[in-house]
Structure 1
């Protein structure tokens, strides 16, 4: 299969119009080395690309006339994928741990669960503190807020309150992130 015959009909996500798939009669053509060929007929642009052993890729189909670039599409696509992988590799993944409480929780149980929340924060993980409201407790969500307000002083030295206590359905939630070390 020659370069002139190759098109991108198979994949929808690669919505790149190139070579024979280009339907415009005249194109503003730019070379691989940013050389301006000016406005030329499609057949001449395809011939130029074929002579250089490269592809004619439509860059801006909505312009008048459409803009096409002579380039090695395979090499260009490979470099884009490489950049994507590099960006993904450098991305920091945030892990969120969840610690659940109830409205009628005893002080020693709070201390035990707070100990785990502190460990997560010290390891650099984000923590979501949640109070589950059961049955008639839904009528008094301030009880859940009260529990989280009792928990907050126990973790404020290792964490920052990202979101204050707020209701999410049957839960009262508070989001805590680890403090930045200097």
Structure 2
């Protein structure tokens, strides 16, 4: 029994609302195309003719087959000679492509960076308070950008600021590691601490 392809609403040639990223149906104007796809067996059954993957066919003929199967002729490799096409549901193809791009974006999620600010005269209580916050950030997988801000004449206390940041790095050894030693950027001495990768069970 021939596989039935669902009928799509709208005119076969009406693709004006789609982005011109791919040439489709009547917009494919080359004389010949190379037909590929893992659905050619189903399409062969639907049109009553055996289609061989990778074979070159006249474009008009391939377009007729797509119309019979109630699908679209879509050019996927325009620079090939001849161009490579598939007979597929173009709307479904675009949906799957968009879905895949979303998944890739989600996997490459941006790293969160949390800032912790010190003064060169930060006392022990304030230091411990900020240290607890930093531990929480690193455990959550965020990076910590710690810096000592030197206002006015406090710029003469650079060494004090450096010692404070080095102590901060040491206290966080179990949670993260500094990407580099503290360095001056304008009136700030900065260090970036990356979270340690959690061991997989």
Q: Equivalents in 1 of 2:18, 2:182: separation in Å? A: 47
Q: Distance in 2 between matches of 1:30 and 1:122?
A: 49
* Structure 2 residues without counterparts, runs of 5 or longer: 1-9, 41-51
CA–CA separation in structure 1 for the residues paired with 2:141 and 2:53? 53
Instruction: Flag the 1:96–1:62 CA change in 2: closer, same or farther, 3 A.
Output: same
| Higher strand proportion | 1
Q: Provide TM-score, normalisation by structure 2.
A: 0.70
Q: Are residues 1:110 and 2:118 paired?
A: no
CA distance in 1 between counterparts of 2:73 and 2:38 reads 10
State how far apart, in whole Å, the 2-side matches of 1:157 and 1:110 are.
Answer: 17
Given that residues 114 and 143 in structure 2 are in contact (C-alpha distance below 8 angstroms), is that contact kept between their aligned partners in structure 1? yes
Match of 1:53 among 65, 70, 87: 70
Q: CA–CA distance in 2 between the matches of 1:179 and 1:37?
A: 49
Shift of 1:93: 6.5
Written as runs of structure 1 = structure 2, the 5 A alignment for 1:92-171 is 94-135=111-152, 143-171=160-188
- Number of the residue aligned with 1:6: 14
In structure 2, the partner of 1:64 is 81
Q: CA deviation at 1:21?
A: 1.4
Structure 1 portions without partners, runs of 5+: none
Aligned partners of 1:32 and 1:69 also within 8 Å: no
Deviation at 1:56, TM superposition (A): 0.5
Give me the TM-score of the superposition, normalised by structure 1. Answer: 0.76
The CA distance in 1 between the partners of 2:156 and 2:62, in whole Å, is 73
Equivalent-residue separation in structure 1 for 2:178 and 2:56 (angstroms):
59
* RMSD over aligned Cα atoms: 3.1
1:15 is matched with 21
Q: Tell me how far 1:48 sits from its aligned partner.
A: 1.5
State which drifts further: 42-51 or 120-129: 120-129
2:135 alignment partner, SS class: helix
